[in-house]
Structure 1
Amino acid sequence: MQSSRLGLAVCVLFALPGCGKDGGVDRASAPDRAPGWQRVASAADRDRIARWRSAWIAGLDKARSSNPQQVAAQGALLQPDMAIDDPALPVGDYRCRVIKLGAQTKGLLDYIAYPYFTCRVTADAAGLRFAKLDGSQRPVGMIYPDEGRRMIFLGAMSLGDEARPLPYGRDTERDMAGIVERIGPQRWRIAFPYPRWESTIDVFELIPKGV
């Protein structure tokens, strides 16, 4: 009771913002401490990120059953829990490829490894931007800070000869949400759990050009 009266006195004396009728701080007006990506991401994409491990294990199990040697040859790239410190991607061009694990539907392959393409990381006042520059499917979007040894990618898929990428949130069928991690001195990955098409999880490998 005494602390509540003291809070009320402070509010009255200094007219502090955020003071509620009970003399304490109004929780509704307290600053949102959630990472920036969570305020941008849709509920569906927050759910996909939250269930990343289930997607990874399910996709990896299917891929191992059908292509055990190819999966083993990728080393840390396809293994969960291999992230190391400093996940932020340096600005520059990268050799990038995608490996799809675990078919969503019958008739599709459980392991598909594509050749290397070119990806680019740039930076501006808004933060880090990632874009795949060639190929028929090209993720483009922002990379946001997160807790621990990861960052979060939120973007959209550009298709075919489209010249202008869609902004995130414009088309839910194109939206992409992924986890960015560093897995070696000059090696990164972006894992996309439960992508819209084909696979259970997609893993992008990123290696700086010239390495």
Structure 2
Amino acid sequence: MRAKRLACAVLVLAVLGGCGAGDAGTTVQSAADEPAAQSVGDVRGWRAVATVADRHRLREWRAAWIAALGKARGSGAGARIDADASLYAYDTALSDPLPPAGDYRCRTVKLGAKTIGGLDYVAYPFFRCRVAVEGGEVTLAKLTGSQRMIGTLYPHDTARAVFLGTIALGDERGAMRYGRDATRDVAGWVERIGPAHWRVAQPYPAFESTLDVLELVPA
């Protein structure tokens, strides 16, 4: 009996030793080594995929809108906001929020600086974006620019969808997997705001602003 127990103990130690060796030999990939997008869409829906932090950010979308618009108007950007009212009106989402597959012109507007001295309204020029459908999964990728978000669009209700993804910076060739680095994770509400006109509103992004709005129009 003692011999049998000793043999079992040796077997357990061998298994644990093998597991430890495997962990030590695992190679950690850099952002450039990661695939361009993580396939995370499944029947569980976006809540099962979103991080705790991103679920909180998405819940606080209205507070982010109000605070960001207040700062932007206070900085003198009121006329530019009023001139493009459909982009900035936060309670006017239309039905069918998912943009169809294809190429888009897209631009980011940053509202409400996080730090003193930052700009409360910054509208970037248009870049290239693409919406694709593959295997039942809808993806959105910003193809050009120094900050390129890429991720999955999840249905939510008749007026809004959810974007969950990450952001690649500078000359990085790929993006990290969603959920791996909170400073790179992106979460936003996808809404149609006019005929062939969409936006992705991202409350409390990791960098610079209180709200980022990605505007999408067909190319």
Name structure 2 gaps, 5 residues minimum.
1-42
Alignment partner, residue 83 of structure 2:
73
Residue 158 of structure 1 corresponds to 168
Does the Cα contact within 8 Å between 1:35 and 1:146 map onto a contact in 2?
no
Please report how far the alpha carbon of residue 148 of structure 1 lies from its aligned counterpart in structure 2 after TM superposition.
3.5
- Residue of structure 2 in register with 1:44 after alignment: 53
Partner of 1:125: 135
Once the two structures are superposed, residues 80-127 of structure 1 have per-residue CA deviations (whole angstroms, 9 ceiling, x without a partner) of 011001111100000000111101110111100000000000011151
In structure 1, the residue matched to 2:144 is: 134
CA distance, structure 2, for counterparts of residue 109 and residue 94 of structure 1: 27
Secondary structure, counterpart of 2:211 in structure 1: strand
TM-score normalised by L of structure 2? 0.78
In structure 1, the gaps of 5 or more residues are 1-33
Tell me which of 73, 78, 81 is aligned to 1:64: 73
Question: Contact 1:35–1:145 at 8 Å: present in 2 too?
Answer: no
Alignment-derived partner of residue 144 in structure 1: 154
CA contact (8 A) 1:103 1:109 kept: yes
- Residues 121 and 131, structure 1, Cα contact 8 Å, conserved in 2: yes
Deviation, 1:49, is: 0.3
Corresponding residue of 1:25: none
| Aligned amino acid, residue 48 of structure 1 | R
Asked if the contact 1:141/1:167 (under 8 Å) is kept, the reply is no
Contact 1:176/1:195 (8 A) holds in 2: yes
Q: Output the CA distance in 2 between the equivalents of 1:56 and 1:108.
A: 17
Q: Give the Cα separation in 1 of the matches to 2:122 and 2:44.
A: 33
User: Deviations along 1:3-39, whole A, 9 cap, x unmatched?
Assistant: xxxxxxxxxxxxxxxxxxxxxxxxxxxxxxx961000
Q: Secondary structure at the match of 1:57?
A: helix
Q: Percent identity?
A: 53
Aligned mates of 2:180, 2:108 — CA distance in 1: 24
1:167 matched to which residue of 2? 177
Alpha-carbon displacement from aligned partner over 1:149-190 (angstroms, at most 9, x marks no partner): 000000001001111221211111100000000000110000
Contact 2:71 2:112 in 1 (8 A): yes
Runs of 4+ in 1 over 4 A off after TM superposition: none
Measure the CA separation in 2 of the matches of 1:103 and 1:139.
20
Q: Distance in 1 between matches of 2:51 and 2:94?
A: 27
Pair 1:178-2:196 in alignment: no
Distance 1:180 1:35, change over 3 A: farther
Tell me, in whole angstroms, the C-alpha distance in 2 between the residues paired with 1:44 and 1:121.
25
Q: Give the residue type in structure 1 aligned to 2:212.
A: D
- Please give the residue correspondences for 1:83-98 in structure 2 after superposition, counting only pairs within 5 Å: 83-98=93-108
1:112 aligns with 2:122: yes
Counterpart in the other structure of 2:15? none
Whole-Å Cα distance in 2 between the matches of residues 35 and 170 of structure 1?
A: 20
Length, aligned pairs only: 176
Q: CA RMSD in A?
A: 1.2
